[in-house]
C-alpha cells in the first residue's frame, strides 16, 4: 500500500474543514461578514479575548487537579506542557491532539496509562456536560429536530465508555491491539476507577470547575456578539455551546473546523440571530483561538514544541 493511499483520510480531514467553511461563508456572504467585522467594538473584543484566555487557565487547573493524586507536577512546568499540547490540538483532527499531553506527563515519571486516565476522565466530564446542554438546546430551540442524530452520538459515547469499564474489552485491547506495548499503558484502569472510588472529591470538583469553564466560555461568546452589536441571552449561549463542544469532538476535520460553524450558524438562525452576525462571531473566535495559540509559543520551551515529532514516539504510535 502506497504512502498516499494510507494517508489520504488524514489529508481529507485537513481539506474538508476549510472547504466546508469556505462554502458556508460564501453562502452567507463573505463581503457582508467582512463589512460587519470592520464595525467591531474593540472593547468587547478584548473582553472576549480575556475571557477565552481565562477559560484556558481554568481548563489547565482542572486537569492539574486530576493529576494531583498521581503526582504533584511543578505548576509552571505543567502550564508549559498544557499549552504546548493545546497548540498540537489546534492542528490535529477532532480532539485527538489533546491526548498527546500524556507524552509530556511521561517526562514526570507518570505512566502513559495514568496520564491517559486523567485526560479521559476530564474529557468524559466535559462531553457529559455538553451532552446535557446539547440535548436541551435541541429540544428548546429546534423542537426536537435532529434528536436522532444526537441520540446516535450519545449511544456511540456510551459504547466507548462501556469499552473503558468492561474487563473483557480491556483485556482484548491489551492482548490484540496494544500487544507488546501494553506495559506502557499500565495503570490506566486503576487510575480511571480511582476517581470514583478513592478520589470522589476530585471528580466532583472536576465537574464543578467544568461547569464554571462552560459559563466563562459562554460569557466570551456573549462579548463577541456584543462586539457585533447583537445581544444573545447567556442561557442560549450555554446551551448552544454544548452542541459546539460536541461538534469539536468529531474527528472529521481539524479541531472541528467547519463542522462547529455549520452547526452553530444553523442553531443560532433558529433562535433569530442573523447568519452574517454568527459568521462574523466565528471569524472573531477563530482569530482569538489561533492567535492565543501563537502567542503561547513564546512562553513554551522550544523542545516541547518538537516533542510530538520525536522519532521514538512516532514509531511507537504507528505500531499501536
CA–CA gap between residue 201 and residue 32 (Å, rounded): 50
Q: What are phi and psi of 141, to 5 degrees?
A: -95, -25
Highest mean pLDDT, choosing among 76-80, 255-259, 316-320: 76-80
> Is residue 41 in a domain?
yes
Phi, psi of 29 (to 5 degrees): 125, 100
Domain region containing 128: 29-319
Whole-angstrom CA distances from 152 to 130, 245, 255 are: 15, 16, 21
Any domain includes 223: yes
Give a yes or no: residue 233 inside a domain: yes
Mean of per-residue pLDDT scores for the chain: 78
153 touches 134 (CB < 8 A): no
Q: Does residue 11 belong to any structural domain of this protein? A: no
Q: How many CA atoms lie within 13 A of 72 on its CB side?
A: 0
> What is the model's pTM?
0.79
Residues with Cβ within 8 Å of residue 1, at least 6 apart in sequence: none
Assigned domain for 24 exists: no
pLDDT digits (tens, 9 = 90+) for 108-158: 888 888 888 888 888 888 888 888 888 888 777 776 555 555 566 666 666
User: Is residue 18 a part of any domain in this protein?
Assistant: no
Structural domain tally of the chain?
A: 1
Kindly state whether residue 8 falls inside one of the protein's structural domains: no
pLDDT of residue 310: 46
Q: What is the pLDDT of residues 59-86, one digit of tens each?
A: 999 999 988 888 888 888 899 889 888 8
Mean pLDDT of 289-300: 85
Q: Is residue 98 a part of any domain in this protein?
A: yes
pLDDT (tens digit per residue) in 25-59: 898 999 999 999 999 999 999 999 999 999 999 99
Number of Cα atoms under 13 Å in the Cβ half of residue 268 = 29
Q: Per-residue pLDDT tens for 192-236?
A: 777 777 778 888 999 999 999 999 999 999 999 999 999 999 999
Burial 204-224 (b: 16+ CB within 10 A, else e): eebeebbeebbbbbbbbbbbb
pLDDT average, residue stretch 260-283: 91
In this predicted structure, what is the pLDDT of residue 3? 47
Q: Which three cell numbers stand for residue 309?
A: 515529532
Could you give the maximum distance between any two Cα atoms of the chain, in Å? Answer: 59
Amino acid at each position: 500500500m502506497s504512502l498516499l493511499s494510507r494517508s489520504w483520510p488524514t489529508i481529507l480531514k485537513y481539506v474538508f474543514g476549510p472547504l466546508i467553511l469556505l462554502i458556508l461563508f460564501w453562502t452567507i456572504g463573505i463581503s457582508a461578514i467582512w463589512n460587519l467585522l470592520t464595525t467591531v467594538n474593540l472593547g468587547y473584543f478584548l473582553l472576549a479575548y480575556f475571557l477565552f484566555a481565562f477559560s484556558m487557565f481554568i481548563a489547565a487547573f482542572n486537569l492539574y487537579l486530576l493529576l494531583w493524586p498521581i503526582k504533584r507536577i511543578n505548576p509552571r512546568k505543567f502550564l508549559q506542557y498544557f499549552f504546548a499540547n493545546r497548540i498540537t490540538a489546534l492542528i490535529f483532527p477532532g480532539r485527538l491532539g489533546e491526548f498527546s499531553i500524556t507524552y509530556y506527563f511521561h517526562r514526570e515519571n507518570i505512566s502513559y496509562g495514568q496520564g491517559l486516565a486523567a485526560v479521559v476522565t476530564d474529557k468524559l466530564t466535559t462531553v457529559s456536560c455538553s451532552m446535557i446542554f446539547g440535548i436541551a438546546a435541541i429540544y428548546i430551540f429546534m423542537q426536537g429536530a435532529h434528536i436522532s442524530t444526537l441520540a446516535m452520538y450519545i449511544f456511540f459515547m456510551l459504547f466507548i465508555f462501556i469499552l473503558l469499564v468492561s474487563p473483557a474489552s480491556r483485556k482484548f485491547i491489551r492482548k490484540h491491539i496494544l500487544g507488546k506495548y501494553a506495559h506502557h499503558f499500565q495503570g490506566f484502569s486503576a487510575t480511571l476507577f480511582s476517581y470514583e472510588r478513592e478520589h470522589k472529591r476530585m471528580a466532583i470538583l472536576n465537574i464543578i470547575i467544568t461547569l464554571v469553564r462552560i459559563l466563562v466560555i459562554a460569557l466570551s461568546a456573549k462579548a463577541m456578539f456584543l462586539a457585533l452589536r447583537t445581544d444573545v441571552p447567556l442561557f442560549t449561549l450555554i446551551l448552544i455551546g454544548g452542541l459546539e463542544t460536541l461538534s469539536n469532538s468529531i474527528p472529521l476535520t481539524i479541531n472541528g473546523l467547519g463542522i462547529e460553524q455549520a452547526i452553530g450558524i444553523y442553531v443560532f438562525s433558529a433562535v433569530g440571530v442573523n447568519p452574517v452576525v454568527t459568521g462574523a462571531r466565528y471569524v472573531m473566535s477563530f482569530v482569538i483561538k489561533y492567535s492565543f495559540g501563537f502567542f503561547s509559543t513564546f512562553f513554551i520551551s522550544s523542545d516541547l514544541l518538537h516533542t510530538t515529532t520525536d522519532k521514538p514516539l512516532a514509531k511507537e504510535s504507528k505500531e499501536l
